[in-house]
Amino acid sequence: MVINVAPLLKQPLGTRVDIEVEESPIDPRGDNAGLLDAAIVDIDAKLHATHTNPGAYLEGSADAHVAAQCARCLTPIDTPVHADFAEQYFATVPVDTGVGIVAAPLDAKTVGSDFMVDLTPLLREELILVTPVAPVCRPDCAGLCPVCGDDLNDRPHAHDEPVDRRWTALQELRDKIGKSES
């Protein structure tokens, strides 16, 4: 979602505006489509922008769901994520002659001469930071059987693996010998 901060920057310092970004599911052709790059499937964010001397200070929180796969059983899951954030956007051009412009730090987010601020990269970055690396479908997910690959949640079982293999090999040998003798 892109917002125009020019009206805010024309207001006295300290003026605050509320911004809400809510979309479920996210439209691939909509304003928030950039969130889909981070597998974010829905968004409910509440922000406010405050006019500060170097520009606009954005702070807020976002709740979203990220499409993922359970790290243990591989079931598709939507992981809920929550992010709290604050970011200073530095104005690079005065919106009117009355406002002094301070030099923005090199790595700072800036407001260009069109005074449009795209919130999508900010929300995407903040939500990626809180997305778990190895999400699980539930805390006690048993995962997949390492021997046969079956889902241990659906079919709890164990294999007596080493013995099984030895007996199988012996059985095969016996079968071979039996066949060649007959």
Query: Which tokens in the block code for residue 63?
Result: 């709740």
End-to-end CA distance of the chain: 79
In the complex, minimum distance from the CB of residue 159 to Zn ion, in angstroms, rounded to a whole number: 5
Q: How far is the CB of 111 from Zn ion (least distance, A)?
A: 44
Asked whether the CA dihedral 97, 15, 64, 71 is positive or negative, the reply is positive
> Given the rule CB under 5 A, which residues bind Zn ion?
70, 72-73, 137, 141, 145, 147-148, 150
State in angstroms the smallest separation of the CB of 166 from Zn ion. Answer: 18
Q: How far is the CB of 80 from Zn ion (least distance, A)?
A: 15
Nearer to Zn ion by C-beta: 12 or 146?
Answer: 146
SS3 162: helix
At position 27, the amino acid (one-letter code) is D
Beta bridge partners of 1: none
> Which of 58/77 has CB closer to Zn ion?
77
CA distance 136 to 134: 7
Of 157 and 176, the one with the shorter C-beta distance to Zn ion is 157
Whichever of 147 and 169 has its CB closer to Zn ion, that residue is 147
- What is the CA angle 118-44-81, rounded to 5? 100
